[in-house]
A and B are shown apart, each in its own frame.
Chain A
Amino acid sequence: MTGLRRSLTIARNDFALFMQEPIAVIVLVVMPLLVMPFGKPIYESALQQDSYPLANGAEQVVPGMALMFVFFMVTFAGLAFFREHIWFTWDRIRCLPVKPWEIMFGKSALPFVLICVQQLLLFTIGGFIFDLHIRGSLGALMVVDLSFALWLVAFILATVAWCTTFQQVLAVSNLGAIVFASVGGAITPISSLPSWADAVSPASPSYWAMRGFNSVLLDGQALHAVLLPVGVLLGSGLVFLILAAVRFRFDEPKGGVLPGL
């Protein structure tokens, strides 16, 4: 059995577990769809005042809410790691001829797929309901979103590597979702952020993702216009991947109180 097949076996097992109770992830699709109509009118006027007279607010509310809520996937993915320790299955897997990278790759696969599916559903359903016009390249939009998904998976791995209890993961997830979305322009349009935020916004992945989305959705740009945001997202994702690789200890006990276990 090849390493990739072992990773797929682990990913399929995680999928089977996910299907036992998919509600937590379904909420990450439903919640932003419920929030979007409340923000759209505000964003519409804000964007129109900001030299986008044809904007209807969907250009901000759909990607903004998608970016904010997808961050809660850190909790779901963290749980998928930590529960293995609580269930004593982590050591069982480690006793088998499975390499550490195969475990990590397998455990990352489902969160990555779910992030992509969540984004796809929100852009599709949200776009349809709220009349989102993609003025630029659809390919460029997908490249930005895919880059953010890869960044988020790397961030998840780093979070799991550095946290020793699930409560720490939960704190990172909640704090990250709100802070990154706030300073990154996912909640408020980048152009409307306070001046002090100029210095900190670039530290947020949401800022670069929103810059990429704005280039496509508001400015009607193509792939070349999103190369910088994509490069920053992939570059910082690589940093988190390295941080995860440096810190991860397969024999480190992990625990904390896990919900529903």
Chain B
Amino acid sequence: MTIALIQKIMTPENIEFMLKGAGYSLVIAFCALIGGSILGLLAAAAKLSRIKIFKVIANIYCEVFRGTPMLLQIMLLYLAGPVITKTFMGFVYTPNPYIIGAIAIAINSGAYETELFRSVIQAVDKGQWEAAHTTGLTYIQTMRYVILPQAFRRVIPPFINEFIVLIKDSSLLSTIGAIELLRSAQILTSNYYNFFVPYTAAAIMYLIVTMTISNIARGVERRLAESD
């Protein structure tokens, strides 16, 4: 009976529908990762700088976005965005759930990536700063040529891990109508009045993607360890 049910629900068209959803999940997560790393790098630099106002802004950013649920942030940005533009700029727009969703996840991820970047930058030996000082490098030059290249190697494994987290987090966009993997499964459940098959299929697809990426991460980690 189960097999018949699977055959009935998982038609080639429906599988394609879910794969397309999985593709959206991947693209959203990837864009959020890149956007988040730009924000994270900037905020980490602000946190490490000697200028107080930068530090304060970066701290507020991290506290706010790590201290509130990501789902709430997504809803606020998606639903409140048009209201804000209407109130302050006098126009309404129809937010695209994919773009707004990716931006919301990027902002949230950036807050976590800030701590990631800050910790790997601070983990670089103090002697490297001193050597750069004696060779006459400025702060920016030291960061660019000495500190960041060393921090970069250390950040790769946790960074890939963050990608996996974001792929799972992207499922939250199902609540604002982005047809990513979870939402595509949801649509099938209501079409066929069956929860078991579509959700299990979605779980398997998530697992295939995340396990593949974590395997890549392990390989990269091993290669980095060898070259040290």
Are both chains from one complex? no
B-side residues, CB < 8 A to A, are: none
